[in-house]
């Protein structure tokens, strides 16, 4: 059901100390939209059991729906928050050929579901689970709302990225809206310009909304409060599945919907892999091919389901995936509690 991969340093640490939540100081949550439903049961287990009563700080790093999940995990009742997110996302429906304004309005409603009555303040105040929201600040044509102009900018981005990922610097900057208590240290050899800003109750909602604002599909977020003026869009543009080094001591836990990792959004169709050295201290958890084959339609959810299925079909399908995702949590629980370390494979076979 579940596959677990570890970098060489992570594997050595686990063999010496056993598999323990105290080994982890960072947590990654990637973009991917409804693909996240595959991890729903695992998310609930991790933040109700595995990290329960944790006193050591944990950096929660995410883009797009990964940032949405992390915003839930940094609240006082993370399970109630993640259930609100799942319910809202699962039940959301759009009119045929929905325009960006409609999709953005639905996303605003999702923000209400995520934060509930006091979520913003709880996230800002949380010293143990420190959220980090990755957003792409746009330059040039990709900063325009006009679809034709924006499309030209995205085409340029694709070409730039195909030539060399650092060329994205000409169009995007990475902004990390983070806990004021953050001590996160990153190293990006692609040298994507990176700025870090403390979030507050005044800007966390728009920062989170921007992190999931998909180009062409949604409106961008302009002039986020207490931030440089400009257009902010989906953090997955630059950091889809992540390709940077987390320099903090300790291991990184990375539940992911796939064993295939792509640095940025424009890498999805490219054979380019993330750098193995950036995953030396990472433990990657993902569903097995056998598990995915057992799901309805023999695949994990994706945004095309909004088009390929009617609302009733899609909701049934996504609910079944969420139900089945509990099996991944059960599998992880068995591996952890019984210390079945032989189940952990080398991540080298994925990234080498």
- Complete DSSP assignment for 316-344: HHHHHHHHHHHHHHHHHHHHHHTT-GGGE
162-180: average pLDDT = 97
Q: Which pLDDT value is given to residue 237?
A: 97
Query: Can you give the residue range of the structural domain that contains 151?
Result: 2-351
Beta strand 129-138 with 172-178 is antiparallel
**What does the block give as tokens for 166?**
């650092």
Q: Which of 230, 233, 129 is nearest to 181 (CA)?
A: 129
**Alpha-carbon distances of 306 from 90, 95, 293, 315, rounded to whole Å:** 11, 10, 21, 10
Using 50, 70 and 90 to split pLDDT, how confident is the model at 232?
very high
Contact between residue 249 and residue 272 where contact means Cβ atoms under 8 Å apart: no
Contact between residue 328 and residue 39 where contact means Cβ atoms under 8 Å apart: yes
Q: Which pLDDT value is given to residue 352?
A: 78
Residue appearing with tokens 């839930």: 72
Give bridge partners of residue 197 from the DSSP assignment.
177
Contact between residue 347 and residue 5 where contact means Cβ atoms under 8 Å apart: yes
Q: Which of 217, 349, 299 is nearest to 37 (CA)?
A: 299
Q: Which pLDDT value is given to residue 227?
A: 96
Domain count along the chain: 1
Q: Which pLDDT value is given to residue 53?
A: 84
d(CA 183, CA 80): 27
For the chain, give the number of residues.
352
Q: Which pLDDT value is given to residue 41?
A: 97
Neighbours of 177 (CB within 10 A): 28
Which residues are CB-neighbours of 85 under 8 A, at least 6 positions away? 68, 69, 72, 110, 113, 114
Contact between residue 199 and residue 154 where contact means Cβ atoms under 8 Å apart: no
Using 50, 70 and 90 to split pLDDT, how confident is the model at 34?
very high
Q: Is the pLDDT of residue 217 over 90?
A: yes
- pLDDT tens for each residue of 276-285: 999 999 999 9
- pLDDT tens for each residue of 236-248: 999 999 999 999 9
Q: Which pLDDT value is given to residue 55?
A: 85
Contact between residue 215 and residue 237 where contact means Cβ atoms under 8 Å apart: yes
d(CA 81, CA 128): 17
Q: For the whole model, what pTM was predicted?
A: 0.96
Contact between residue 299 and residue 36 where contact means Cβ atoms under 8 Å apart: no
Contact between residue 123 and residue 74 where contact means Cβ atoms under 8 Å apart: yes
- pLDDT tens for each residue of 79-124: 999 999 999 999 999 998 899 999 999 999 999 999 999 999 999 9
Q: What is the mean pLDDT of the chain?
A: 96
Q: Is the pLDDT of residue 26 over 90?
A: yes
d(CA 63, CA 28): 9
Using 50, 70 and 90 to split pLDDT, how confident is the model at 1?
confident
């Amino acid at each position: 059901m579940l596959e677990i991969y570890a970098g060489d340093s992570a594997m050595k640490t686990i063999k010496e100390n056993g598999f323990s939540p105290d080994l982890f100081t960072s947590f990654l949550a990637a973009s991917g939209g409804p693909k996240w439903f595959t991890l729903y049961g695992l998310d609930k287990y991790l933040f109700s059991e595995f990290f329960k009563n944790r006193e050591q700080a944990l950096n929660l790093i995410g883009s797009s729906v990964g940032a949405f999940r992390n915003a839930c995990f940094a609240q006082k009742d993370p399970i109630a928050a993640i259930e609100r997110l799942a319910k809202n996302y699962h039940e959301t429906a759009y009119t045929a050929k929905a325009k960006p304004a409609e999709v953005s309005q639905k996303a605003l409603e999702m923000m209400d579901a995520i934060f509930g009555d006091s979520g913003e303040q709880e996230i800002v105040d949380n010293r143990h689970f420190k959220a980090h929201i990755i957003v792409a600040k746009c330059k040039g044509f990709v900063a325009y709302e006009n679809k034709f102009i924006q499309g030209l900018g995205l085409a340029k981005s694709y070409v730039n990225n195909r030539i060399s990922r650092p060329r994205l610097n000409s169009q995007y900057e990475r902004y990390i809206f983070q806990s004021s208590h953050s001590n996160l240290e990153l190293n990006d050899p692609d040298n994507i310009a990176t700025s870090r800003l403390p979030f507050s109750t005044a800007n966390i909602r728009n920062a989170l909304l921007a992190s999931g604002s998909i180009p062409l599909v949604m409106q961008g977020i302009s002039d986020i409060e207490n931030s440089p003026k400009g257009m902010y869009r989906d953090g997955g543009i630059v950091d889809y599945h992540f390709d940077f080094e987390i320099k903090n001591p300790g291991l990184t836990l990375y539940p992911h919907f796939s064993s295939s990792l792509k640095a940025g959004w424009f890498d999805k169709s490219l054979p380019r892999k993330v750098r193995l050295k950036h995953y030396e201290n990472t433990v990657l958890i993902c569903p097995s091919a056998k598990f995915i084959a057992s799901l309805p339609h023999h695949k994990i959810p994706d945004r095309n389901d909004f088009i390929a299925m009617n609302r009733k079909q899609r909701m049934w399908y996504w609910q079944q995936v969420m139900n089945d995702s509990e099996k991944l949590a059960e599998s992880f629980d068995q591996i952890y509690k019984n210390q079945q370390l032989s189940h952990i494979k080398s991540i080298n076979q994925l990234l080498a």
